[in-house]
Amino acid sequence: MIIKKFVGKTEEEALEAAKKELGNGVVTMNVRTVKKKGLAGFFGARQTEVTVALEEEKESLKAVRRTLPPKQETALPESGARADAETGAVRNANSLMTESSRNIEKKLDSLQTLLVNRLQQEESAKNELTERREESEPGEEPAGAAVQEPSEQEKFIRLLYNTMLENEVDEKYVNQILDEADKPEKPDVPIDFILANIYQKMILKFGKARGILPAEKGPRVVLFMGPTGVGKTTTIAKIASRFAVDEKKKVALLTADTYRIAAAEQLRTYANILEVPFRVVYSGEEASEAIADLSGFDYIFVDTAGHSHQNTEKLDDMKQMIQAVARNAEYQVFLVLSAATKYRDLLRIASSYREFTDYQLIFTKLDETGAFGNLMNVKLYMDTPIAFVTYGQNVPDDIELFNPQKTVKQLLSTRH
Ligand SMILES: Nc1nc2c(ncn2[C@@H]2O[C@H](COP(=O)(O)OP(=O)(O)O)[C@@H](O)[C@H]2O)c(=O)[nH]1
Ligand SMILES: [Mg+2]
């Protein structure tokens, strides 16, 4: 069975929308007045929400709904009953994710404790304020007494909202995430259900990267592009080491970064350490020749020069290089970006490279920033997945496959 909510100015309007999407077979389950969507909705205007049902529910929704306990004594997490419900909700939410594990469950548990503690802190700070106000104005009604108290759920969502903003997720995407997450249907929905739901939506938003795949035939050529100084060469060394040393693959390194002598020498040094072939290529033609010479290899990693989007000469070189590689081999492109770069600049850079190629993302220098919102922002803006992240200068250790669970947990955690 599908259960879905539709909103409109009136009940009729909401039901019209439901029938338009799901057909005339819908059955009205519930009608109620609700506040508008997004953060604004927690304070703003009201509309009518109709919950309708239709045969054929998606398994994933069923799994989450089954976890809803029939009745909760309290929305705060002290009671044993609530703790049971929490484990259920989290376990089921996790079972929807391919990478579910006890580990994530544990992490999510501690994350929730963190959030709840903060919620309680805010609560007691507010109570203190009210008490003080009452003391100073005896006989008068405390201000705001007429205003309806937001529910625990609303406060919790508000807290998640602020936490994501603090972690520099673009407000536009924060609203999108909250709008897409299932809204609590009843006032006593436990907050861990809300958390599990939002957590899951965010993981789905990050999607899954392909990473570096072996070619079907011949070598896989992997190009790394990005601004100067973001860590392209270092990242190539890390990745090349994983493939050459850990996986015992035949790896070769090329560099097209011929603008600075030191840049080529840096990669040559890594090639020497790894004992893999190294070549400098000055043009697309030379790259083609090198690929032909290295046809017995598994992976050929190509370093490139950073360019600014005003530099049309370098831009043309890059295009030619990619075209030459595309003619001669199965290839993949990665755009390397620093997590410490400003949001607007990241979008400008990512857009300028997108003009001539598709790519997966690599974020470097996660150790240099406490806010990971840009990972979500760039991923969603460019609609392309993040494959690797790096978090230090050590070769080959400071790199890992992008782990959405870990990043989402960071985005929902308070920074210290
Ligand atoms: N803190 C930190 N530094 C990094 C990271 N990756 C690379 N670097 C450093 O950034 C500087 C530029 O790296 P490089 O690979 O030469 O950048 P490229 O110009 O893009 O090839 C070097 O000092 C690297 O050690 C990282 O993940 N974290
Ligand atoms: Mg370099």
Q: What residue segments make up the domains of the chain, in order of their start?
A: 2-57, 80-136+150-206, 220-411
Per-residue pLDDT for 93 more than 90?
A: no
- Helix/strand/coil for 270: helix
Instruction: Please indicate whether residue 150 or residue 82 has the higher confidence score (pLDDT).
Output: 150
**Relative to the alpha carbon of 366, which ligand is closest?**
1
Nearest to 37 by CA among 150, 157, 151, 178: 178
Instruction: Please indicate whether residue 43 or residue 351 has the higher confidence score (pLDDT).
Output: 351
Atom of ligand 1 nearest to the CA of 391: 27
pLDDT band at 84 (very low <50, low <70, confident <90, very high): very low
Task: Give pLDDT, residue 38.
Answer: 63
Instruction: Please indicate whether residue 24 or residue 233 has the higher confidence score (pLDDT).
Output: 233
Percent with pLDDT over 70 in the chain? 71
What is the average pLDDT value for the chain, to the nearest integer? 80
Name the residue of 223, 234, 266, 397 to mutate for ligand 1: max ligand atoms within 8 A of Cβ: 234
Give the pLDDT mean for 370-383.
96
CA of 302 to the centre of ligand 1 (A): 16
Percent with pLDDT over 90 in the chain? 48
Atom of ligand 1 nearest to the CA of 236: 15
Give the pLDDT mean for 403-415.
89
Task: Give pLDDT, residue 126.
Answer: 65
pLDDT band at 397 (very low <50, low <70, confident <90, very high): very high
* Superfamily covering domain 220-411: P-loop containing nucleotide triphosphate hydrolases (3.40.50.300)
Give the pLDDT mean for 320-327.
94
Nearest to 39 by CA among 130, 186, 162: 162
Neighbours of ion ligand 2 (CB under 5 A): 232-233, 263
Please report, to the nearest 10 degrees, the dihedral formed by the alpha carbons of residues 114, 116, 118, 122 taken in order.
180
Give the pLDDT mean for 146-159.
80
Task: Give the bridge partners for 361, in sequence order.
Answer: 335, 386
Task: Give pLDDT, residue 368.
Answer: 96
Query: Residue 332, Cβ neighbours under 10 Å: how many?
Result: 19
**pTM attached to this predicted model:** 0.70
Task: Give pLDDT, residue 60.
Answer: 35
pLDDT in tens, 111-138: 656 666 666 666 666 666 666 666 665 5
Per-residue pLDDT for 333 more than 50?
A: yes
Strands (E), 346-415: 360-364, 386-390, 399-401
Is there a cis peptide before residue 190, judged by omega within 30 degrees of 0? no
Atom of ligand 1 nearest to the CA of 237: 15
Handedness of CA 76, 81, 85, 87 (dihedral sign): positive
pLDDT in tens, 255-281: 998 877 788 999 999 999 999 999 999
